[in-house]
Structure 1
């Protein structure tokens, strides 16, 4: 059995679910939480455990998605979204609420185990035979029928193993972007993301790095229309 992953940050130490609850209850600021460190620590936890369970990974992805959504909104509260983007966010929020509700219900069901029995067996009674095989039914015939059923069952398919790759940390991506902007002064986000080579995780971390530099007042960004490239420039 794998150990439960616990977050260890300067402002918080404990389960990932509790971190999300504190942020949603506004008892902890999302800007005080380094999502890059949370991700790096989780990957290190997986490596230390020698693998991961599918339910545990699904839980981490859902909670991390919520934290990423909250942090993106806090960094750019006035960001205008298209109707399709708003629908995607609302769909994600519905899925996360459903996941949380199912988890709470499962915890309640689990708490019932080991308590008083809520149903009782009937008192012992005489066994009445309900089936008596005829002489035509033989051991060989039953064996043949079982083999026919087994032949119709679908064959076992091997599921390919999931390879976990280490993602560049947010701090490293911020330093990379600051270095590029110091030399170029002006650059598009597409140009900055060329080194990602189609790696979605790298692009996401790069986008968070850009938002962080906007928040710090180091760079400014401009986008003429939705879905067009974002132009970044250094503030002089």
Structure 2
């Protein structure tokens, strides 16, 4: 049986042989920059604490303490401090090995439990209002009951269905048919549409100012003709309010000019009495 002749050039270099199969059961366990990865690289460093499994996760010291009490059916109003403190410290010792920053908050509660236990060992003083001694656990029990109440309320809120988590808005596509259904138009709709048209018309309306030439001399002549037919004319009767403010102003100026030229006399019998206008008497 003959063997084929293989030269050194036909062999790959030592250390560059890639034993990675192209496909492992048709699946890759990861992707790196979009490329499938079928085995871990030789130079990949994984820290010892990169992957951890937490069997029990607590949200804080009170959560852990409440868990230990409820798990063993202890009376929360009469907590056996020795057993609870011992179990609490065992858990704290475990988390100190992995996360010292996280353990700092739990160590504060551990110091509080040890303080309560030490206060229970020494004789306690009685309060002035009652003959019963103060319980060192009272403040801790109150905090635990308040925390448990808030935790149960949070559970109740979490059971309420939430959009995007428990249900989604239904979206239905209805194909339009060939029959057109025109909407019904009410009288109130027409009134509103007409009011909108009038409103837009007022916005684009132009204000026109007309110029009216008024002559003071013409008004002076008109006043003199009016006074020739009457001996006395009341001051207000010489003005026509319907002709507008410009005409009234010019008429008043004409009246003043006549009085200045002593062609008319303006008289009044007494204070607050009516004012009368008459032609001035020419000297004989």
TM over 0.5: no
Larger helix share, 1 or 2? 1
Structure showing greater relative contact order (alpha-carbon pairs closer than 8 Å, 6 or more residues apart)? 1
With normalisation by structure 1, the TM-score equals 0.30
Q: TM-score, normalised by structure 2?
A: 0.25
Larger Rg: 2
